[in-house]
């Protein structure tokens, strides 16, 4: 494999909504550049970048995958990213090693929610973009309609540099508005291209579109604007160079048309990517110096080597595979390099180029290129490899989980295996969390959505042989009191030898929400010896952990120890612990106990047309809408909703918005459950505890 310099490398992330044709487009590029010997099809499960069994079964990209192509003496590194909101963090991480973005937009559906989110992320990372209108051969495909939607949603700077030849099923090629050439193709998937003149029937339309393009390019540069006013147009060289400069400066986003399934117009897409998107050497990399101050530099072989690890693959056979980009310098196989993040050293074995799951050994990888290495001992996603006194790259940030499921091992004794498997998977996917709920004692698996969690469980089974059952988690309700009272607890038991005796008087009163529990000792004198008083608190702590109404912990109350009695022979710690428990239960009968439920801060992102329906749905879930904000074409509905009402929200949101909505939520606080719902919670809790007792029996 030839070693390319940064000036001959294009690092391109392919992004877009689920089903927009990203993987099929990648497959067509690899076929037309001769990297594979047949055109892979997503529906046949034989594409290069969707190689995971779950991806093949679901016919959706679930994890970013790398491939490379060679075209006109240029290496094009492609990162095929997932388009589902469940895997947004993985797609966003790919942008950190890209120099430009291909935004796939379905010619029928137009821009969708994830298209808009990835567009915003690409803008935040200052990446040039080229819009690819995919599936132009489909019924109801329309450049005009999609362009109107793109302008409304993503801005007026998107401008076609091609026009389609033929509509819908008659789509057979494109006219290049810059070179004024027509490229036509058979519809057999071979990709054979015929170059010719602009069809006479399209001459007027092409002239108008080219004039609009020239005006856009002129507007993006003051000197070109002067030339345009003087001459009434731009020369071919001025147009090409002006377009390239405007694309690099994110003032123009060119649009091209394709059908990857029929392999139509992929060649001119590749030409456009090389002509207008920046080389790796032209991009400025942001970093932190050894003092933590921001710095930046151009990608180059000059200077100390610096690598950024942007993704990890947990391979059950090869171990941990770290995917990286060489930001500066070069790296060679069988060398040692410091891990600047961990202040340790890593021994590099074989350096790899990835073509999907296929690995190719190389001796060296230069600045600007993407590579991989297996079995690094300390390195994780987001780490910097390079001189300890050199630069460090800002770590990746990952979304917090929005949904949790309870896991039960199918086989007894598999809990340790579950932990080991999930630790490996989290190395690959840091948006997964797992924990033991201290209150419900359930093992919880948390992720970005139902599909995310289901895919994680499937990977546990396939890669590590661990099977689990998923179920909705129990809601971590709490109990509290709403009134004050005094109570007495007396424990007396006489046996053949020493008896047991403990007596205490307490006052119980509510605390503000979040106060948890306080114990105050106000005994003066020796009504209860000092060594026995902590036992009273311990007894109350044990009793409150088991709850009173429905078995949930009691919180937000204060217990004051007022008085008591003891026996010089029969009193001991156990006796006073029992007395404390009795006093607690006696007090609960008069403190007007109630049940608290967790309330979540929820943000729902939907196209504006759905905002009214979403607010109505939130209200039906006992939620309180706190406000709305406009983010481009999206409306963000902010609300507070009980957790119990959000367990199945993802499915509902997907169904009501046609998968165009997304949401995130985080714990806010606890509130009292409405009285008409408390009886149901108490009954359900008693039924569940009865089943557990039967199982234990």
Report all structural domains of the chain as residue ranges with CATH numbers, in order of start: 6-282 (3.40.50.300), 284-386 (2.40.30.10), 403-468 (3.30.70.870), 479-591 (3.30.230.10), 596-676 (3.30.70.240)
Q: What is the pLDDT of residues 268-309, one digit of tens each?
A: 999 999 999 999 999 999 999 888 899 999 999 998 999 999
Residues with Cβ < 8 Å from 653, sequence gap 6 or more? 604, 606, 614, 661, 662, 663
* Helix (H), strand (E), coil (C) string for 144-186: HHHHHHHHHHHCCCEEECEEEECCHHHCCEEEECCCCEEEECC
Q: Rounded to the nearest 10 degrees, how much is the dihedral formed by the CA atoms of 56, 118, 422, 339?
A: 120
d(CA 133, CA 46): 23
**Which pLDDT score is estimated for 633?**
66
Residue-wise DSSP of 312-380: EEEETTTEEEEEEEEEESEEESS-EEEETTTTEEEE---EEEEETTEEEEESEEETT-EEEEE--SS--
Q: Enter the tokens of residue 120.
A: 């915003």
Between the alpha carbon of residue 480 and those of residues 484, 595, 601, 671, the distances in Å are 12, 6, 22, 10
d(CA 109, CA 153): 13
Strands (E), 432-499: 433-436, 443-447, 468-471, 478-481, 485-493
d(CA 419, CA 423): 6
Q: In which element (H, E) is residue 584 found?
A: helix 573-588
The distance in angstroms from the start CA to the end CA of the chain is 66
d(CA 11, CA 285): 13
d(CA 104, CA 91): 13
d(CA 600, CA 620): 15
**Which pLDDT score is estimated for 696?**
42
d(CA 177, CA 417): 59
**Which pLDDT score is estimated for 438?**
78
Q: Is 466 helix (H, G, I), strand (E, B) or coil?
A: coil
Q: Rounded to the nearest 10 degrees, how much is the dihedral formed by the CA atoms of 13, 17, 21, 24?
A: 50
Residues with Cβ < 8 Å from 281, sequence gap 6 or more? 5, 6, 7, 9, 298, 299, 300, 367, 368
**Which pLDDT score is estimated for 85?**
84
At residue 214, what are phi and psi to the nearest 5 degrees?
A: -60, -40
Tell me if 579 sits within 8 A of 515, measured CB to CB.
Answer: no
**Which pLDDT score is estimated for 1?**
67
Low-confidence ranges of the chain (pLDDT < 50): 693-697
Tell me if 249 sits within 8 A of 220, measured CB to CB.
Answer: yes
Predicted structure pTM score: 0.82
At residue 360, what are phi and psi to the nearest 5 degrees?
A: -120, 125
**Which pLDDT score is estimated for 694?**
47
Packed helices 113-124 and 88-95: angle between N→C axes, nearest 10 degrees: 30
Q: Is 623 helix (H, G, I), strand (E, B) or coil?
A: coil
């Amino acid at each position: 494999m030839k070693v390319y310099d940064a000036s001959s490398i294009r690092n391109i992330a392919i992004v877009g909504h689920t089903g927009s044709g990203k993987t099929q487009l990648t497959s067509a590029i690899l076929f037309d550049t001769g990297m594979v010997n047949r055109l892979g099809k997503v529906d046949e499960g034989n594409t290069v970048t969707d190689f995971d069994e779950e991806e093949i079964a679901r016919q959706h990209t679930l994890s970013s995958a790398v491939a490379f192509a060679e075209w006109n003496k240029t290496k094009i590194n492609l990162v095929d990213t997932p388009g589902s909101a469940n895997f947004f963090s993985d797609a966003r991480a790919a942008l950190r090693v890209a120099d430009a973005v291909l935004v796939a937009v379905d010619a029928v559906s137009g821009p969708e929610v994830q298209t808009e989110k990835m567009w915003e992320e690409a803008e935040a990372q200052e990446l040039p973009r080229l819009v690819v209108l995919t599936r132009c051969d489909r019924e109801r495909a329309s450049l005009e309609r999609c362009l109107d939607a793109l302008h409304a949603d993503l801005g007026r700077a998107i401008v076609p540099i091609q026009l389609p030849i033929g509509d819908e099923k008659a789509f057979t090629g494109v006219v290049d508005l810059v070179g004024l050439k027509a490229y036509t193709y058979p519809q057999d998937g071979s990709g054979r291209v015929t170059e010719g003149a602009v069809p006479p029937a399209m001459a007027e339309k092409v002239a108008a579109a080219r004039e609009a393009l020239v005006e856009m390019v002129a507007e993006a540069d003051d000197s070109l604007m002067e030339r345009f006013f003087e001459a009434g147009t731009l020369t071919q060289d001025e147009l090409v160079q002006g377009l390239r400069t405007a694309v690099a400066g994110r003032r123009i986003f060119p649009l091209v048309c394709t059908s990857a399934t029929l392999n139509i117009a992929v060649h001119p897409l590749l030409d456009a990517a090389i002509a207008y998107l920046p080389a790796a050497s032209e991009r400025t990399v942001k970093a932190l110096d050894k003092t933590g101050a921001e710095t930046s530099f151009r990608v180059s072989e000059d200077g100390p080597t610096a690598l950024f690890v942007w993704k990890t693959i947990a391979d059950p056979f090869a171990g941990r595979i770290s995917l990286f980009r060489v930001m500066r310098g070069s790296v060679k196989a069988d060398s040692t390099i410091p891990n600047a993040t961990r202040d340790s050293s890593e021994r590099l074995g074989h350096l790899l180029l990835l073509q999907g799951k296929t690995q190719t050994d190389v001796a060296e990888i230069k600045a600007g290129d993407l590579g991989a290495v297996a079995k690094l001992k300390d390195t994780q996603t987001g780490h910097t490899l390079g001189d300890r006194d050199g630069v460090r790259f800002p770590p990746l940030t990952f979304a917090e989980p929005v949904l949790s499921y309870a896991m039960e091992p199918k086989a007894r004794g598999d809990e340790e295996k579950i932990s080991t498997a999930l630790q490996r998977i989290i190395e690959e996917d840091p948006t997964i969390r797992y924990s033991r709920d201290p209150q419900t004692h359930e093992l919880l698996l948390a992720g970005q959505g139902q599909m995310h969690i289901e895919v994680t469980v499937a990977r546990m089974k396939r890669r590590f042989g661990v099977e689990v059952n998923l179920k909705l988690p129990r809601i971590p309700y709490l109990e509290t009191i709403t009134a004050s009272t005094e109570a007495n607890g007396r424990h007396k038991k006489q046996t053949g030898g020493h008896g047991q005796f403990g007596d205490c008087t307490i006052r119980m009163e509510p605390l503000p929400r979040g106060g948890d529990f306080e114990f105050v000792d106000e005994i003066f004198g020796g009504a209860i010896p000092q060594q026995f008083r902590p036992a009273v608190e311990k007894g109350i702590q044990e009793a409150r952990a088991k709850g009173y109404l429905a078995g949930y912990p009691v919180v937000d109350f204060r217990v004051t120890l007022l008085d008591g009695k003891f026996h010089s022979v029969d009193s001991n710690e156990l006796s006073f612990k029992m007395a404390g428990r009795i006093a607690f239960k006696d007090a609960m009968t008069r403190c007007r106990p109630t049940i608290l439920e967790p309330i979540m801060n929820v943000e729902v992102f939907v196209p504006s047309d759905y905002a009214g329906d979403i607010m109505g749905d939130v209200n039906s879930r006992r939620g309180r809408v706190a406000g709305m904000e406009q983010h481009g074409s999206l409306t963000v509905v902010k609300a507070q909703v009980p957790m119990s009402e959000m367990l199945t929200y993802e499915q509902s949101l997907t169904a009501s918005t046609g998968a165009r909505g997304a949401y995130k939520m985080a714990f806010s606080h606890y509130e009292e459950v409405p009285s008409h719902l408390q009886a149901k919670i108490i009954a359900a809790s008693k039924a569940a505890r009865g089943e557990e007792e039967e199982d234990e029996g």
